Amino acid sequence: MTAGMDTDGFAIEASALRYAYPDGHVALDGVDLTVRPGERVALLGPNGAGKTTLMLHLNGVLLPTSGQVRINGTPVGRKTLRDVRRQVGLVFQDPDDQLFMPTLAEDVAFGPANFGVAGEELSRRVDDALAVVGMTDHARRSPHHLSGGQRRRGALATVLACRPDILVLDEPSANLDPVARRELADTLLGLDTTMLVVTHDLPYAAQLCDRAVIIDDGRVVADGPILAILSDALTLARHRLELPWGFDVAAMADLSERTGRRLPTG
pLDDT band of residue 180 (cuts 50, 70, 90) is: confident
- DSSP 8-state symbol, 24: S
pLDDT band of residue 253 (cuts 50, 70, 90) is low
pLDDT band, very low/low/confident/very high, at 257 (cuts 50, 70, 90): low
- State mean pLDDT over 199-225: 95
Q: What is the mean pLDDT of residues 119-145?
A: 95
Residue 174 — pLDDT band, cuts 50, 70, 90? confident
- Average pLDDT over the chain, rounded to whole? 90
Percent of the chain with pLDDT over 70: 91
Domains of the chain: 12-243 (3.40.50.300)
- Of the chain, the percentage scoring pLDDT greater than 90 comes to 80
How much is the average pLDDT of 210-216? 97
Residue 264 clears pLDDT 50, i.e. is over it = no
Mean pLDDT of 110-120: 94
Q: What's the whole-number mean pLDDT along residues 92-112?
A: 94
* The one-letter amino acid at 222: A
Position 1 scores a pLDDT of: 40
- In this prediction, residue 81 has a pLDDT band, given cuts at 50, 70 and 90, of very high
pLDDT value of position 175: 84
Question: Is residue 77 over pLDDT 50?
Answer: yes
CA 263: distance to chain centroid? Answer: 20
**DSSP code of residue 39:** -
| Dist. CA 259–CA 218, nearest whole Å | 37
Strand positions, DSSP E, the chain: 12-20, 26-35, 40-44, 66-71, 74-75, 88-91, 166-170, 194-198, 211-216, 219-225
Residues 6+ apart with CB under 8 A from 104: 130, 135, 138, 139, 140, 141, 142, 143, 146, 154, 157
- Asked if pLDDT for residue 251 goes beyond 90, the answer is no
pLDDT band at 65 (very low <50, low <70, confident <90, very high): very high
Residue 265 has pLDDT above 80, yes or no: no
How many CB atoms are located within 10 Å of the residue 116 CB? 8
